[in-house]
Amino acid sequence: MALQCGIVGLPNVGKSTLFNCLSNAKAQAANFPFCTIEPNVGVITVPDDRLKTLTELVNPQRVVPNTIEIVDIAGLVKGASKGEGLGNQFLGNIRTTNAIIHVLRCFDDGNVIHVDGSVDPIRDKEIIDTELQLKDLDTVVKRIQKVEKMAKTGGDKDAKKTYEILSVIKTHLESGKSARTAPIQEEDLEFIEELSLLTSKPVLYVCNVDEASVNTGNAYVERVKEAVKEENASVLVISAQIESEIAQLEDYEERQMFLDDLGLTESGVNKLIRAAYDLLDLATYFTAGVQEVRAWTIEKGYTAPQAAGVIHTDFEKGFIRAEVIKFADFVSFGSEAAVKEAGKLAVEGKTYIVQDGDIMHFRFNV
């Protein structure tokens, strides 16, 4: 399941530095605008202590963690929706992602230039929001022109419904608000899904702060939280500079000592990866055997056959049943055999909704 989060932000806010910390795919991090020209894609391992616990219990030959893709997208400037700077490229790259990680500069440093000459995360956010909204408005207007005649003169119910939904979104965008906050029923989103509206994507705001603010935040962070409180979006505080220093430490104990000295329990990168995973509304189930312990990515709400299909389409087509062990039971009893002996292994059918952390075996016939 190759799902992508795109890192966006104005030039020089620290997004490429964060990307470098997230991935072995190195983006050029330099103190000038547009240092990232082509989108860099990194395949990022999702940290999960449960996988480590299962590995210790099962002692498999191979361990395969969950991954997501992070895309570092070229910096955007005013006028991008009209093709200014790298606008068309930026907007095209972000359209293919599933969610947005929006990095905002929330630190003062005279040695790091700002494309607009001063530090103001709310202004920066609004610049990108406006460009995305203008591009979406252009997309929506063009689609309205296509369906309006059918909606008003024909008997096409779908065209009429699509026209109504697009009209609501058009008004919403014209008022300077993003499509994700438009008053649209969730079941109606399928009528506009193919448009891949930029501002309909879920977003995580990452406040890039200095070392002194990494634990407590600062006035910039508080302004961001206030500005996004109606967007149903999360805000994460990270210091890209600290993460860059941590990334240079190869020894695990050295990294932990470094974190301890700063009063941190874990790196911001780990928090960011998990937040990105949650942003995509994903869940994890496991398969565990002596040959392999593996984490599998599914969308929340998947049925057992759908989850089986992530392994192989034949598993879904020929699904018979799923044998399910709860993670807590596996840890408590220490092995699959002990779980079975205790009567804690459940046999589930096609309607079972897979829960995050389930350990599963599938029975199928094709």
Q: Are 18 and 243 contacting, i.e. CB atoms less than 8 angstroms apart?
A: yes
Residue 162, C-beta contacts closer than 8 angstroms, at least 6 positions apart: 143, 147, 151, 191, 192
How would you write the chain as a 3-class SS string?
A: CCCEEEEECCCCCCHHHHHHHHCCCCCCCCCCCCCCCCCEEEEEECCCHHHHHHHHHHCCCEEECCEEEEEECCCCCCCHHHCCCCHHHHHHHHHCCCEEEEEEECCCCCCCCCCCCCCCHHHHHHHHHHHHHHHHHHHHHHHHHHHHHHHHHCCCHHHHHHHHHHHHHHHHHHCCCCHHHCCCCHHHHHHCHHHCCHHHCCEEEEEECCHHHCCCCCHHHHHHHHHCCCCCCEEEEECHHHHHHHHCCCCHHHHHHHHHHCCCCCCHHHHHHHHHHHHCCEEEEEEECCCEEEEEEEECCCEHHHHHHHHCHHHHHCEEEEEEECHHHHHHHCCHHHHHHCCCCEEECCCCECCCCCEEEEEECC
Q: Sign of the CA dihedral 305, 309, 312, 317?
A: positive
Cα(46)–Cα(63) distance, integer angstroms: 13
13 is in an annotated binding site: yes
268 is in an annotated binding site: no
Cα(97)–Cα(72) distance, integer angstroms: 11
Q: Which two tokens stand for residue 93?
A: 């790259």
12 is in an annotated binding site: yes
Beta bridge partners of 206: 103, 236
Residue positions forming the annotated binding site: 12-17
Annotated binding site for ATP: 12-17
